[in-house]
Amino acid sequence: MNLQHLKIDHSWTLFLDRDGVVNRRIVDDYVKSWEQFEFLPGVVDALKRFHEIFGRIIVVSNQQGVGKGLMNEADVRSIHQRMMEEVDRGGGKIDAVFYSPHLHSDRSVMRKPNIGMALKARKQFPDIHFNQSVMAGDSVSDMIFGKRLRMKTVLISQDAEPARIHPQHIDYLYPDLISLANAL
């Protein structure tokens, strides 16, 4: 089934994970500065297309490196500011970025798959309706986050195995954001 049957318009919200979806994930490490941030191929074009379709685009990102003391919140905010500026320059828009600096062991409501970041987003944008939202991420945790809120979920992965193992959490599978954008 493809996403076109959903009739997505400006009343819909797109939630995106960051590392591994918007930018290249650093294996066994964290993006700690703008110099380490690298958009994945096609992402800026995809965000331009999403801006034409969705009413809001929200990034929700676990940033455990802060909790580990490998970077601070000012570093994360600076990366997000530059990311949003680059997307704007490319004709797209990210309306807001929410992140959790908490360690996995903290069990914070703000850390995905818990829904705190989505509730914070809806507090800032009261017109968000989770049943008219899409969550695109590269982990099962992202998919659980979306499903807990009754969003449509899109796994961004070259590997179809998670979709076979967790079909209850994953509605759609695309290899990258530009493929998702082209499907809309």
**pTM here?**
0.95
Query: In 3D, which of 43, 54, 75 has the Cα closest to residue 135?
Result: 54
Number of Cα atoms under 13 Å in the Cβ half of residue 14 = 31
The pLDDT tens digits of the residues spanning 72-89 come to 999 999 999 999 999 999
- For 100, the token pair is 């959790």
Query: pLDDT at position 5, please?
Result: 81
Indicate if 19 belongs to the active site: yes
Q: Residue ranges per domain, the chain?
A: 14-174
Q: pLDDT-based confidence at 161, cuts 50/70/90?
A: confident
CATH, domain range 14-174: 3.40.50.1000
Indicate if 45 belongs to the active site: no
Annotated catalytic residue, options 19, 138, 142, 176: 19
Annotated catalytic residue, options 9, 17, 138, 171: 17
Distance separating the N- and C-terminal Cα atoms of the chain: 12
Over the chain, what is the mean pLDDT? 95
